[in-house]
Structure 1
């Protein structure tokens, strides 16, 4: 019979000292390889396994060097999260009656490398954080400080709550925290983490929901800013496209389409990293294109004779690179050139399954592979539709599969257990072999 899992609602209802004793018992059993009456929550258990494999000291924290003042300011200025600080602040710290009471919590915003960029809240909690090394410029990756609301959310790529002795390192046990990743709506790139932390007694079961909701509000604000940028680019490009003969597309620097002429509109084109003014690029849906600069983007003119079908057929090799913890890419290449595109966590899972099963998978099979539920075919079809907008030239369907004449290579991490560490997909979990 499997052990029951301790839930956050139950912990929040307990006396803080009782909850800490319970969690310490579970943690001590895990450190000693023994069974306990209760098991940790899935995200916590997965993080502890990473810490044990990585040799993180469970008894004392290890603090890295802080960023210099100049380095910190440079990272702040370059971070897209700078533009959504008011949304984060108003969402968490200024809501009347919010569970995020500014007298009892601090708001922390970290970048994609786990470096704390901004921090604010009540002076007493800030002083407590100072003594803990939880300060601007500090490194709060899991590999540095163990299981925590910043570093664990970066790895899991979803909201995570860590309470008291759920922190792997014992010196963090006086804290409770909840973190949610924030991704760039333009390209799915992980930008950082929003975290709400406070003393153990401030635990609340609604905290994680609040932090996740505010992170989504920030992403919505970034999406609105992007739409405004596309509108400005469209205003500049429209007169040029009116005078262009043949097929042409105006895109922003991330490949999102602002305006088109002579061809079917697509939401986004996969731009190679080498795109530049005066050059030429090969795109799977258009063929060979001449590149001209626009303010905030590019004008892509399809070269005479370029045909999408010929370009698609020229793709002969796909490399799915899953070797890094949070940056997954697919590279498509052939006689006409190649391009590389970053992948979202879900698309990385789907393409991994298709790369392993070259004979193909039905929607029901993919639903079982990724969600553990064969009935979620609607979700699978929607996600595969998005994937095929980019990889239509190398993917077939009925069943979903890579084309037979395309060579597919998967570049995995050094250790199988590190494959897509965020993923709970049954096919990925089985491949890790842990």
Structure 2
């Protein structure tokens, strides 16, 4: 891996070469010409002198974004939450060990993005970090195609393959001085793309060996995900994550769906619930055996909590004797504080998605309706589009359409989506 420090462009007859046989000087020159030719109609894209992978990324970016430019940015609290919830936290140390030292020597930086393109972790040379931060390439920024247009991490996440983007091939002119290579990361058990690792900086970022080095590091990281989760994955002792990809987690440890339901419902009712009330919240069709089932579950749950002296469940009524933070409570706090980006990140449709408990369904519905009203009242075009697409809500999409500039290329796509939903 240390060979990365010798990642200067290979010179072949005066032509810069990155990926095998790639003539970057010509590609970048053609991309500059493409920017000059780019008009307001998407049909013009077919005639632009771009590599196919770049042309298709420009097309997607222009179709799916209200405005290409400054990336959407998470607040510090939202970034911390995103890191806590991400399974990528287990493998960032792999990239720190295998890529960061050599990247720093080559004046590059390494970035780890989640499946939506948000940069969760970054490290590298100070100079490269400062240069990237000037254009918004920093932890908490979204570098997906719909946020900033064409970039290597954005392309890798969409195509599922390694990608390299140089200079003017970026759709945003603000980053024409940067080069980047990225490789997607998959959950080895499901095959689902969970993120991408990226090298960004000068010409070394797209050297011929950059993609193979990234792929080797990704292979090692994906192997790490196959190992049992260790204590390093532990989160806050008072946080119940209801949206983890592999099921609910309490303090970073897996917890059963039924136990998560009980804790979530009791956290939402701090004064407590009687056994009859809790049964009604948990069971779709309560019967004579339901209270006995509930008592057995509470015995098992108390045993699971026994290692923590503060995590106790009182009886008569059933209530939590400590303040438990859940994804739902954080969602409500974000809405109360007017932090829509954080609230959308905690989109309630993803909260305990397998649960059919009446109490959970009611909490989820209330949160969905509250978030919808806030976004309708205060949301930007991007936020309206995001929630409208997530919830297949034509009313939200109509509101987004009213907020979009009249010359936005996204308007025709939004109209088509509305028509499809209302058909």
TM-score (norm. length: structure 1): 0.47
User: Larger % of strand: which?
Assistant: 1
User: Larger % of helix: which?
Assistant: 2
Greater RCO between the two (CA within 8 Å, min separation 6)? 2
